[in-house]
Amino acid sequence: NFDELESKTEMFETGVKVIDLLTPYVKGGKIGLFGGAGVGKTVLIQEMIYRVANNHDGVSVFAGVGERTREGNDLIEEMTDSGVIDKTALVFGQMDEPPGTRLRVALAGLTMAEYFRDVQKQDVLFFIDNIFRFTQAGSEVSTLLGRMPSAVGYQPNLADEMGLL
């Protein structure tokens, strides 16, 4: 209910000093990591997963939308090696899978995160990699269904799909 919502802002301490100082995160908020290939986005994600598991006793959910098989395998190995695989849920819709699968992976990950938050009462860090591929999969599904694209080429229900997330 709306009257049960709390309006206080609580900072999420990542333990990564440069993030906590320059771009602090708010608990319950949303952030985006943007950068080219090889700049360290995955390394930062892995570090955040590790710190949530060890410092906050929380759970991380990673939804890989359109990931390469190698990237998913590397992430699983890293989580296993660092000892946080039991505090991590991973779901993938790989690059070579049908667009419907890739579209639903982000929503499946969100459902997992909501389960940990609402049923297990745990703090959850939810990652979607890559939101553009989610949008792209939605566009492919829309084309397969014969829907007329918008003036800029995106599917007509893009706002609805993003709203679900």
pLDDT per position as a tens digit, 82-135: 999 999 999 999 989 999 999 999 999 999 999 999 999 999 999 998 888 999
SS3 for 129? strand
CA distance 141 to 135: 10
The domain in which residue 81 lies consists of: 2-164
Tokens standing for residue 10: 């609580």
More confident residue, 122 or 164: 122
Would you tell me how many other CB atoms lie within 10 Å of the CB of residue 62? 25
**Total tally of structural domains belonging to the chain:** 1
pLDDT digits (tens, 9 = 90+) for 149-158: 888 888 888 8
Domain of 29: which CATH number? 3.40.50.300
pLDDT value of position 126: 93
Query: Given 67, 78, 102, 161, which residue is catalytic?
Result: 67
Query: Given 10, 27, 68, 147, which residue is catalytic?
Result: 68
pLDDT value of position 1: 66
Query: Given 6, 27, 30, 41, which residue is catalytic?
Result: 41
To the query of whether residue 114 is one of the catalytic residues in this protein, the response is no
11-40: average pLDDT: 87
Return the half-sphere exposure (C-beta side, CA atoms, 13 A cut-off) of residue 62: 26
pLDDT value of position 92: 93
pLDDT digits (tens, 9 = 90+) for 32-72: 888 888 888 888 888 889 988 888 889 999 999 988 888 88
More confident residue, 28 or 140: 140
pLDDT value of position 63: 93
Cβ-based neighbours of 78, under 8 Å, separated by 6 or more: 46
CA distance 3 to 20: 31
To the query of whether residue 67 is one of the catalytic residues in this protein, the response is yes
> Is the model's pLDDT at 2 over the cut of 70?
no
Q: Residue 87, class by beta-carbon neighbours within 10 Å (0-12 exposed, 13-18 middle, 19+ buried)?
A: buried
Could you tell me how far CA 36 lies from the centroid of its own chain? 18
Tokens standing for residue 34: 């943007």
CA distance 36 to 24: 22
